[in-house]
Amino acid sequence: MLGLDTNVLVRHLVRDDPLQFEKARRLFKRASDTGTRVLISPRVLLETERVLRSRYGLPKPEIASAFSALLETTDLAFEDEPSVEQTLYSWKDSVADFADCHLEARNRRLGCEATATCDVKALRLAGFATV
């Protein structure tokens, strides 16, 4: 298995730098050809969402679509894929941030009854409770 850094995933998704995109494309091709799975960690996923939103101005539906496509790619692995799926499901119809949706999904999978917060937007998610 090969772990990814955020910049490789961003280059692969946005294709804004032809040289860097080509390097990322070749990395994915090599991994696929050799049967090596590529790991996207929760931190990389969270950083990628932030970069796509804040740096590239991509709207939520476009980011969600890109992440859904990544989930369907057999050569990619996610740490706790069910949490990523739940995150996308919660986030698409929520005013809460992607990171809050992910935190709630991970905590629920880890057995938490709720996640305590002061964040008004996060409190709109079923898995959050006020402090």
Residues 48-59: tens digit of each pLDDT:
999 999 999 999
Residue 49 has what pLDDT?
98
Residue 28 has what pLDDT?
93
Exposed, middle or buried by CB within 10 Å (0-12, 13-18, 19+), for 7?
A: middle
Contact 11, 49 (CB under 8 A): no
Q: Quote the CA–CA distance of 45 and 35 in Å, as a whole number.
A: 22
Q: Quote the CA–CA distance of 104 and 79 in Å, as a whole number.
A: 15
pTM summary value: 0.91
Q: Which two tokens stand for residue 37?
A: 């799975």
Residue 103: band (very low, low, confident or very high) from pLDDT cuts 50, 70, 90:
very high
Residue 129 has what pLDDT?
94
Q: Which two tokens stand for residue 123?
A: 């409190």
